[in-house]
Structure 1
Amino acid sequence: MDPYVNIAPFYDLEHSNFVDDIDFYLRHIHADPILEVGVGTGRVMVPLLQAGFEVWGVDTSAAMLAVARERVANFDQAHLIHGAVDDLPPGASFGTILLPLNLLWHLRDLQQQRRFLATTRDLLAPGATLLVDLSNPLTLADRGARGELRERLSHLSPDADVHGWSSCWDDEAEERLYLSLVFDEARDDGSLRRVSSKLELRYLYKGEVELLLWLTGFRVCSLYGSYDLQPFSSHSPNILVIAKVDDGLTR
């Protein structure tokens, strides 16, 4: 079941003002076509299109893609596919592949993450770049969470008031977050609506990311701890990797 089917209309209310990653991506994208895996509602795709790039977006959520299709309808160089990377056209090849905002966490275990990265490698053109954007588990807001309720969103407008909460359980032994999301919408006509969803996320530490990339034939060119290119430390908010295919290595 699509975990975003109920919450897709509220996703951009929480994330639309988050633009810190966009400049980082644009700084490190030097070739298209670009493949954004987990394109979601098109939040990242639109500024890439506005910069003149050809962008392909793939996502398993039909609900999120419905929002994205509306946002990119006027761009001829936009291509959206419902499915996984295996559903791309035969022979597809990309100058840049972008794995944004914890995309890798949505894969259930290390085996799936490794298979996915191996498939991704085969989609890169010679000399192409892989960009990986992850949160640092050591500084997560939900690190060590035990089901506490946390407010995520309060959006007031003439048409509706929307409030969002989350409750998370951090299984540190298995490196998994069990996240419950709830959004309440009160419309100006007096109607009320509550929607909810649950996500299971398998987070990764820096060493695991580097090992997975090495095992799947990538060479890490740069690794940063923030969007303003600070070196990684245990206190960094992010794990940001720029990698290329390393054809000279055997595993």
Structure 2
Amino acid sequence: MPRRQNHDMVSTGSEDAVLGAALYGEQIAGVYDDWFSLPGGRPESAAAVDFLGTRAGHGPTLELGVGTGRMALPLAARGTTVVGIDASPRMLAQLAEKPGGKDLEVVVGDFADVTAPGGPFSLVYVVFNTFFMLRDQETQLRCFANVAGALRPGGLFVLEAFVPDQTRYHRGQDVLVDSLAEDAVRLTLAIHDPVEQRVQARHLALGPEGMRTYPIELRYAWPSELDLMGRLAGLELTERWGGWSGQPFTAASPTHVSVWRKPDPRR
């Protein structure tokens, strides 16, 4: 197993925002890599590792919601010191089974608290919409503030997330076919609450083994709201791209990669 520390889930009145991330990871860990990785690795993952590695230097670096190590392991292989935090022991167990996984320092806990050894960090990052698994604004604000506290002066916070698209929901609902084979189908079913900016969804897998469901609970935020969270935490927006390869961010961009910097008073 990787070097692991256990931190209690801290109740702050937003406990459900923490437990949702843990529940998602615990239930989906067994199929996560099969569903969200392609043979030979995802092209965008390689671009993401290059993007993060360029900005991390030799670290140390902290990944929030490290999961099965899709980003952390190739980043560490480049020579960057990576620490990971995740709410799901099962996800971290999957990470530990991979080459190099046992060498990573990992923490079981609420990544909104950003409590991990090895800081202060040159880079803190969270990818693949994982930040939105913090299911209320209070917890998301707390995460930004704690990231700022964990960064060294001049350090960077990188966040990858989708840009909300309310047009995809008809009467507040959406059904998406994720995969379709002769003997199996995988769907994502979602209910949207635009007032609370919440999406309650389920992955539904139907196949020879029967039916399985996997819960997804998100509280999305617009890029402008994330910028305000950063300002309240004392961070400065320095970059925003439409993807890991440096695509321009436009009104048509479905995702964004944003970078905030902790000011360095020595400069």
Where do 1:73-152 residues align within 5 Å?
73=100, 76=103, 78-85=104-111, 86=113, 88-89=115-116, 92-138=119-165, 143-145=168-170, 146-152=172-178
Question: Which of 7, 13, 30 does residue 9 from structure 1 map onto?
Answer: 30
Where do 1:23-42 residues align within 5 Å?
23=47, 24-42=51-69
What is the DSSP-based 3-state SS (H/G/I as helix, E as strand, rest coil) of the residue aligned with 1:122? helix
**Given the alignment of the two structures, is residue 50 of structure 1 paired with residue 109 of structure 2, yes or no?**
no
Amino acid at match of 1:116: C
What is the DSSP-based 3-state SS (H/G/I as helix, E as strand, rest coil) of the residue aligned with 1:170? strand
Match of 1:189 in 2: none
Give the deviation of 1:207 after TM superposition.
0.8
Give the deviation of 1:61 after TM superposition.
1.1
TM-score w.r.t. length of structure 2: 0.79
Amino acid at match of 1:84: D
**Given the alignment of the two structures, is residue 176 of structure 1 paired with residue 201 of structure 2, yes or no?**
no
Q: 1:87 to 1:177 in 2, by over 3 A?
A: closer
How many residue pairs align between the two structures?
Answer: 236
User: What is the CA RMSD across the aligned residues, in angstroms?
Assistant: 2.4
Once residues 174 and 229 of structure 2 are traced to their aligned partners in structure 1, the CA distance between those partners, rounded to angstroms, is 32
Deviation by residue 1:88-107 (Cα, 9 ceiling, x = unmatched): 35673211111111122011
Match of 2:222 in 1: 205
What is the DSSP-based 3-state SS (H/G/I as helix, E as strand, rest coil) of the residue aligned with 1:227? coil
Q: 1:194 to 1:5 in 2, by over 3 A?
A: farther
Once residues 244 and 184 of structure 1 are traced to their aligned partners in structure 2, the CA distance between those partners, rounded to angstroms, is 44
Once residues 122 and 72 of structure 1 are traced to their aligned partners in structure 2, the CA distance between those partners, rounded to angstroms, is 32
Give the deviation of 1:231 after TM superposition.
2.5
Deviation by residue 1:145-175 (Cα, 9 ceiling, x = unmatched): 544432213579xxxx764211012222221
Question: Which of 211, 235, 241 does residue 252 from structure 2 map onto?
Answer: 235
Give the deviation of 1:66 after TM superposition.
1.2
Give the deviation of 1:216 after TM superposition.
0.8
TM-score w.r.t. length of structure 1: 0.83
Contact kept, 8 Å, 1:7 with 1:196, in 2: the verdict is no
Amino acid at match of 2:35: E
Contact kept, 8 Å, 2:55 with 2:123, in 1: the verdict is no
What is the DSSP-based 3-state SS (H/G/I as helix, E as strand, rest coil) of the residue aligned with 1:48? helix
Q: 1:123 to 1:162 in 2, by over 3 A?
A: farther
Q: 1:5 to 1:126 in 2, by over 3 A?
A: same
Contact kept, 8 Å, 2:184 with 2:207, in 1: the verdict is yes
Once residues 162 and 7 of structure 1 are traced to their aligned partners in structure 2, the CA distance between those partners, rounded to angstroms, is 17
**Given the alignment of the two structures, is residue 68 of structure 1 paired with residue 95 of structure 2, yes or no?**
yes
Amino acid at match of 2:221: L
- Structure 2 unmatched ranges of 5 or more: 1-18
What is the DSSP-based 3-state SS (H/G/I as helix, E as strand, rest coil) of the residue aligned with 2:97? helix
Contact kept, 8 Å, 1:137 with 1:143, in 2: the verdict is no
Further displaced range: 90-99 or 55-64: 90-99
Amino acid at match of 1:82: V
Q: Which has the higher helix share?
A: 2
Give the deviation of 1:10 after TM superposition.
1.2
Give the deviation of 1:223 after TM superposition.
1.1
Match of 2:4 in 1: none
Amino acid at match of 2:110: A
Q: 1:73 to 1:149 in 2, by over 3 A?
A: same
Identity %, equivalent residues: 27
Match of 1:220 in 2: 237
Once residues 46 and 70 of structure 1 are traced to their aligned partners in structure 2, the CA distance between those partners, rounded to angstroms, is 12
